[in-house]
Each structure stands twice: as structure tokens, then as C-alpha cells.
């Protein structure tokens, strides 16, 4: 059986006062005018996973304007072991809480036992030529789909780094600074090794399908943390090296007002494999196709490594693809064996899906299943 969402309920979420959608296992095409709420619906599904969803928004901003009821998203996930009810919503502290099958979940990551989520949005079209921070966030999303705790590690690392920066600025207690740097090094080593390991597995899978011809393949690499040949291989050695590096750079970092080296400065280097060309130099169409190929490959990797094929949220995915490339995409989605959610203003773009998809019209925060 294809793992799929059979029921979705939204309460006070963005422009949805209340919405309900019952689904079968086929792909879901969401059509409607711009501003109707198609992307908001995808975002609602994306918060059923660790992190802040496809917009990276703070949770308090998800609240529907003018509503006194806290936002909530609930879904029923059909699995081989039977249905599971997953819900998340606003908590009094400005964060969110999670319930699974009617009980409070032990952690946010517990949702990942039932579903994993990947997405592509129009804001990602300039990923390869944009700032390094966008590529790091993209990479961390991929890693989180494999290792659900990775998102929390990145958040804790960023908090510890801000604390170090404040201590440097205030010339705080060196003993306290040592303790913060030790915590930062432990988190940094975990993050870097998770990224490196995930990329290695993804690259190996991509190389197995270089010649399938549907979408261009990527060659992926991380910029080094240290000088070439000097990067430690083990977690303990990497922790030590990071802590020593930060201790030695305190004066420089204090003058700069920030921590100038570490995993938060690493970049994801992407090369168009078939042309041996940096992805940033490709045409807009080539970059879009390369990104789609990367997401499809990672979805296969998640299926192989976790036995859970991620749901794919593809926002305005078909608008800039020619008919042949659209057919190739739809065929690849079928091959994944998962439920995909696709949005567009023109349903003609999805005609090649035929009966393989169910269509939902979205208008002013209301859903109408055709």
C-alpha cells in the first residue's frame, strides 16, 4: 500500500479559518488563482515534520489573522500498520506541540516515525546562484528528512553560537566561554558529520542513475571546514579541532563581531555532472531540472535508508517545464510510490497525470475536491 494522507484538517492556519480534505492514495493537484491558499496548504503539510516548514516561518505567524483560536494542522496517515493520526498546533510559549494518536508526543521528531516531507518552491529556483545560507538550509532540510533530530541540532548550534558572540563582545568569563565553545563543538561536529554522511550516500545513489536521461545529475560537495587534508575523520577529533580553532580565534571573532568559521560557514557546491559545469552557470531551465533531479534522488535515498518514502510538496512545479519534461516528472513521481502534492494556476499543465491524480480547487481559503 502507498503511504498517503487520507484526511487533512486545518484550523486558523494562514488564510484557512477551517478546512477539511479527504483524499485517496493518488497524487493531489491543487489549482486556483494566485493568493487563494495553495502554498498555505502545502505549508500546513510541511509543518507535520521537524523544523519550521517550507517558508521557515516562526510559528506565531501561522495564526490566521483575527482568529482567537490557536492554529492547528491534523492529518491521518495511512501506513502498512494501519492509520495514524498526527496533529501539531500552537502552544502557549509561542512554539508548537505535537499529538500522535490522541496522546502528547515525546518529541517533535516523533512525527517522522510516520511521515517524511520534502518540498520545492519557486523561491528555491535561484538556489545554486544565491547566497550560501540558502544552500545550507536546503542541505539541512535534506539531512533532516533522513535524520529527524538534525533540525534541532542546527537550532541548538545557532543558539550556542549567538551566546558565544555575546560573551566575546562583553568579554565574559573565560571559563563560561570554554563551556559554551565545548557545547558548540559537540553540536558542530554532529552537524558536519551528518551533512557529510548524507551527501556521500546521496552522491552514490545519483551516480547509479547518471544515464537515465530524465533529469540532469548533480555532483555534490561541501566546502572544507579546515585546510585540505587537515579535517579530522572522527567525531571526537572534530570536536577537539573545532574547540581549539574557536579558542584561537577569539580575538579575531571579537573584532569581527561574529564567529567567522565553523559549520555555519560551510557551503554546498553543486556541479552539473553531465556538463562538468558549476550549477550556477546553467540556464534557468537547467537549474530547475537539476534541482528537481536532486529532490527525486533524495526521495529515493530516504526510502532506501528509512523505508518511508517522503511526501513531495511541489509548488508551481510545472509552470516552467516543457511538455516532455512534465511527463518525465510525472513518470518519476509515479516511480517513487508516494503521494505528491502539486500546485498550479492552470490545470492544463497537469493533464498528463490523468486519473493518476485527484484535483482540488482552492479559492479564498476554501477547498473543493473535483
Delineate the domains of the chain, giving CATH numbers in brackets.
1-116+308-370 (3.40.50.300)
pLDDT classification of 210: cutoffs 50, 70, 90: low
pLDDT classification of 209: cutoffs 50, 70, 90: confident
3-state class of 27 per DSSP? strand
What number is the average pLDDT over the span 12-33?
96
What number is the average pLDDT over the span 31-59?
96
Report the half-sphere exposure of 224 (CA within 13 A, side-chain side): 8
pTM to 2 decimal places = 0.95
**Residues near 214 by beta carbon (within 8 Å), at least 6 away in sequence:** 293, 328, 331, 332
DSSP 8-state assignment for residue 174: H
pLDDT greater than 80 at residue 9: yes
pLDDT classification of 213: cutoffs 50, 70, 90: low
Q: What cell was used for 142? A: 535534506
What number is the average pLDDT over the span 69-88?
96
pLDDT at 66: 86
Please, are residues 180 and 166 in contact by the beta-carbon 8 Å criterion?
no
d(CA 347, CA 344): 7
Average pLDDT, the chain: 94
Q: What cell was used for 346? A: 492552470
What number is the average pLDDT over the span 94-102?
93
Range of weakest confidence among 20-24, 226-230, 235-239, 276-280 = 226-230
pLDDT classification of 370: cutoffs 50, 70, 90: confident
pLDDT greater than 80 at residue 79: yes
Buried b / exposed e over 214-239, threshold 16 CB at 10 Å, is bbbbbbbebeebeeeeeebeeeeebb
- Alpha helices by DSSP H, listed for the chain, are 38-46, 132-146, 150-170, 174-208, 235-248, 250-256, 284-306, 323-336
What are the DSSP calls for 116-152, one per residue? Answer: -EEEE-GGGTTTTTS-HHHHHHHHHHHHHHH-TTHHH
Please, are residues 137 and 56 in contact by the beta-carbon 8 Å criterion?
yes
pLDDT digits (tens, 9 = 90+) for 274-297: 999 999 999 998 999 999 999 999
Amino acid at each position: 500500500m502507498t503511504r498517503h494522507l487520507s484526511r487533512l484538517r486545518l484550523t486558523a492556519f494562514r488564510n484557512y479559518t477551517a478546512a477539511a480534505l479527504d483524499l485517496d492514495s493518488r497524487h493531489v493537484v491543487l489549482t486556483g488563482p494566485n493568493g487563494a491558499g495553495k502554498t498555505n496548504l502545502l505549508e500546513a503539510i510541511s509543518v507535520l515534520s521537524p523544523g519550521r516548514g517550507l517558508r521557515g516561518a516562526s510559528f506565531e505567524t501561522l495564526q490566521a489573522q483575527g482568529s482567537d483560536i490557536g492554529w492547528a494542522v491534523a492529518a491521518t496517515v495511512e501506513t502498512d500498520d494501519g492509520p495514524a493520526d498526527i496533529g501539531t498546533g500552537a502552544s502557549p510559549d509561542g512554539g508548537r506541540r505535537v499529538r500522535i494518536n490522541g496522546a502528547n508526543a515525546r518529541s517533535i521528531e516523533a512525527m517522522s516515525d510516520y511521515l517524511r516531507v520534502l518540498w520545492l518552491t519557486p523561491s528555491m529556483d535561484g538556489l545554486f546562484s544565491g547566497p550560501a545560507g540558502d544552500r545550507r538550509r536546503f542541505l539541512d532540510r535534506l539531512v533532516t528528512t533522513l535524520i529527524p533530530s538534525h533540525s534541532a541540532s542546527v537550532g541548538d548550534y545557532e543558539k550556542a553560537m549567538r551566546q558565544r558572540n555575546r560573551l566575546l563582545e562583553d568579554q565574559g568569563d573565560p571559563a563560561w566561554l570554554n563551556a559554551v565553545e565545548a557545547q558548540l563543538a559537540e553540536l558542530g561536529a554532529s552537524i558536519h558529520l551528518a551533512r557529510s554522511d548524507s551527501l556521500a550516500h546521496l552522491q552514490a545513489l545519483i551516480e547509479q542513475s547518471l544515464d537515465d536521461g530524465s533529469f540532469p545529475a548533480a555532483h555534490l560537495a561541501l566546502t572544507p571546514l579546515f585546510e585540505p587534508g587537515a579535517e579530522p575523520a572522527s567525531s571526537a577529533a572534530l570536536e577537539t579541532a573545532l574547540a581549539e580553532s574557536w579558542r584561537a580565534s577569539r580575538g579575531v571573532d571579537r573584532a569581527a563581531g561574529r564567529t567567522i568559521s565553523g559549520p555555519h560557514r560551510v557551503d554546498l557546491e553543486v556541479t552539473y555532472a553531465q556538463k562538468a559545469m558549476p550549477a550556477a552557470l546553467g540556464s534557468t531551465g537547467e537549474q530547475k531540472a537539476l534541482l528537481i533531479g536532486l529532490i527525486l534522488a533524495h526521495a529515493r535515498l530516504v526510502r532506501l535508508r528509512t523505508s518511508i518514502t517522503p511526501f513531495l510538496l511541489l509548488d508551481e512545479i510545472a509552470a516552467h517545464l516543457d511538455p516532455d519534461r512534465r511527463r518525465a516528472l510525472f513518470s518519476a513521481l509515479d516511480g517513487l510510490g508516494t503521494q505528491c502534492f502539486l500546485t498550479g494556476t492552470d490545470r492544463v499543465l497537469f493533464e498528463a497525470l490523468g486519473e493518476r491524480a485527484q484535483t482540488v480547487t482552492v479559492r479564498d481559503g476554501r477547498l473543493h475536491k473535483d
